[in-house]
Amino acid sequence: MIRLAGGLMVIGAASLFGFRAADALEEEYRQIQDIRRIMHMLQGEIRYARSFLSEAFLLIADTQQEPYASWLTCLQEKMDLRTEGSFPGIWEETAREHLGGLALKEEEKKRLYDLGQYLGTADVKMQISHLQMYVEHLEGRMEEMQRTMQTQKKLYRVLGMSGGILLAILLI
């Protein structure tokens, strides 16, 4: 009886692991969507409202959820203080601090951190161009994820359950 209960607990834990891996994939997709939306808004603020970056960050922060709102607010505050150094350094520091815990892959985080190199140091046209290229990259990544996400989610769930069953059989 105890072996059966232990086996069921192993199966349940492994299944939960598979379901959590599938949820992490969905979370990464949602976070890429959030960042894309923020970049679209930033692009609009720069292009149409002709806002300075610090103003644009503050306006966008009011419409965002955490951790994006605190990131944009912190970015705006550090830009206004002008004691932290160059804009690319401020961008990378605040992005690592506030967005480092996102479910994004390291490659995507690095691209986000590097985006600050092209903002604030170029004219409006170049900033919009770099934002557009970054948004296009995010959209390409989202399309790629959408093509494979359903299959990967099923695979994670099935592997979790079948791995749990296999482990339970081996233990019993």
Spell out the per-residue pLDDT of the chain, length 172, in tens. 788 888 888 888 888 988 998 888 888 899 999 989 998 888 888 777 676 777 778 788 888 888 888 888 888 888 777 766 777 788 888 888 888 888 788 888 888 888 888 776 667 788 888 888 988 999 999 998 888 888 988 998 898 889 888 888 887 7
A 10 A CB-CB count for 172 gives: 10
Q: Give the pLDDT of residue 150.
A: 87
Contact (CB, 8 A) for 130 and 122 = yes
Give residue for tokens 């996400």.
149
Q: What tokens appear for 90 in the block?
A: 């401020």
Query: Residue type at 138?
Result: L
- Report the alpha-carbon distance of residue 154 to residue 161 in Å, rounded: 11
Residue 139's nearest CA partner among 32, 23, 46 is 32
Residue 21 CA neighbour count, 13 Å, CB half: 18
Radius of gyration of the chain (CA): 21
Number of helices (H) and strands (E) in the chain: give both, helices first. Answer: 6, 0
Write down the pLDDT at residue 84.
65
Q: What is the pLDDT of residue 62?
A: 80
Rounded to a whole number, what is the distance in angstroms from the first to the last CA of the chain? 11
Give the global pTM: 0.80
